[in-house]
Amino acid sequence: MLAVVLLVAVSQGPPEPERARLDSFSSGGLSFTYLSTLHQIPGGDLDGLDVAEMTLTVGGAEDAAWREVFAIGEGDLVVLFGRDQSYLVARDNLGVYEASIVERYRAAGIEVPQTRTLSVDGLPALSSLSRTMTPSGLDVQIRTTEIFAGGTVYVFVCQGAPDGRGELMAACDAILRSVTIQPRDPTLEWETLSSRSGSVRLSVPPGWQETDELGRLTELAASLPTSEGTTAARLRLDTVRLRRPVPTALYADAVADRLKRYLVGRRTLRIDGRRAEMLRFEDKDAGGVFYVFVEGRTAYAVRFDVPIGDQSFALLRPTMDAIATSLDLRSR
């Protein structure tokens, strides 16, 4: 009998470990697959995990609309969240955004990260790699990947402890390779502001605050506070009644000539189906960007007051373009 038992035990061998399988995630317009060695934590609960403060701060998790957490162990985890962006990041200003992230780390006294731009599901993305300590004193590597999908930013923060870092980062790489994001209109979730008469409308991103400090020529106004540690801006929509109709280019020439000592840039675009001109001005203390056009005997100017310097202008330019081109005069 003993021989039979031993024979059966040898023939069966030790139980095989459970093989990792692929699971799927889909929410908020984002889908991806991940290895089952990563366990999704119900409700995104971080209790019982050794989470570094930097894991939640570097990607702006405090502004997140939602959060999901996946973990291999107490210190090896992936935090995923989505948030609305108060200014747009696209391919043409991704490099400027990258520089602003480095400054944000430096200002917070955090180790300056290694950064690189990349593409995820055809969308611009930024990866930042740094190190920090968890509450238990564990030396962890933090890799933050921000994916910019119009007005939404999807952020993957991968925190790897020394023992499991290779496995965790490989799992993160697999997630990013499988990511698909549903295309969305960048201005879909923006707030629409109306003039006092209700005849002029303009859309602004989340985080911009409407103000009631309106002058005689100002139809509406809003501002972007210095949230996210980046920059601030003020917006006004002014109207000027003209003696007679003039072409937009001629009106823009007059404005540019009046302020020619401060003029640093100009280009043509279309607003509400009409030709418009963007004029950029700077002096030693302030910068201004004007989007102007003429309709009948009324001149319109969507004006932004922004910090001086090419970096601030380049960072905010896609947002200013999108706000200005959202101007709606069809109800007039």
**How far from each other are the two terminal CA atoms of the chain, in whole angstroms?**
98
Which among 231, 225, 200 has a CA at the least distance from the CA of 214?
200
Burial of 14 (0-12, 13-18, 19+ CB in 10 A): exposed
Shared domain for 155 and 197, answered yes or no, is no
Question: Residue 154 and residue 59: Cα distance in Å, rounded?
Answer: 9
Examine residue 111 and state whether it is found in any structural domain, yes or no. Answer: yes
The CB-based long-range contact list for 212-221 (8 Å cut-off, 24+ gap) reads 219/195, 220/193, 220/194, 220/195, 220/196
Shared domain for 177 and 72, answered yes or no, is yes
Shared domain for 259 and 318, answered yes or no, is yes
Shared domain for 214 and 101, answered yes or no, is no
Shared domain for 165 and 74, answered yes or no, is yes
- Last residue of one domain, picked from the residues 181, 206, 235: 181
Which among 179, 174, 208 has a CA at the least distance from the CA of 192?
208
Going by the DSSP 8-state scheme, the letter that residue 328 receives in this structure is B
Shared domain for 79 and 158, answered yes or no, is yes
Examine residue 332 and state whether it is found in any structural domain, yes or no. Answer: no
pTM for this prediction: 0.85
Question: Residue 329 and residue 293: Cα distance in Å, rounded?
Answer: 12
Q: What is the number of structural domains in the chain?
A: 2
Examine residue 201 and state whether it is found in any structural domain, yes or no. Answer: yes
Going by the DSSP 8-state scheme, the letter that residue 207 receives in this structure is T
Shared domain for 61 and 102, answered yes or no, is yes
Examine residue 302 and state whether it is found in any structural domain, yes or no. Answer: yes
Examine residue 9 and state whether it is found in any structural domain, yes or no. Answer: no
Give the pLDDT of residue 20. Answer: 65
Both tokens of 191, joined, read 């707030």
Shared domain for 54 and 167, answered yes or no, is yes
Shared domain for 25 and 126, answered yes or no, is yes
Going by the DSSP 8-state scheme, the letter that residue 198 receives in this structure is S
Give the pLDDT of residue 88. Answer: 92
Examine residue 136 and state whether it is found in any structural domain, yes or no. Answer: yes
Examine residue 186 and state whether it is found in any structural domain, yes or no. Answer: no
Residues of the chain below pLDDT 70: 1-20, 59, 62, 226-231, 330-332
Give the pLDDT of residue 269. Answer: 95
Give the pLDDT of residue 285. Answer: 82
Q: What is the CATH number of the domain that holds 292?
A: 3.40.1000.10
- Last residue of one domain, picked from the residues 181, 207, 225: 181
Give the pLDDT of residue 186. Answer: 82
Give the pLDDT of residue 11. Answer: 45
Cβ pair 305, 234 in contact under 8 A? yes
Segments forming the whole domain that contains residue 247: 191-325
Give the three-class secondary structure for 172: helix
Shared domain for 233 and 310, answered yes or no, is yes
Shared domain for 247 and 276, answered yes or no, is yes
- Last residue of one domain, picked from the residues 153, 181, 209: 181
Examine residue 309 and state whether it is found in any structural domain, yes or no. Answer: yes
Which among 29, 67, 237, 57 has a CA at the least distance from the CA of 150?
29
Give pLDDT tens digits for 190-215: 999 998 878 899 999 988 999 887 77
Shared domain for 29 and 148, answered yes or no, is yes
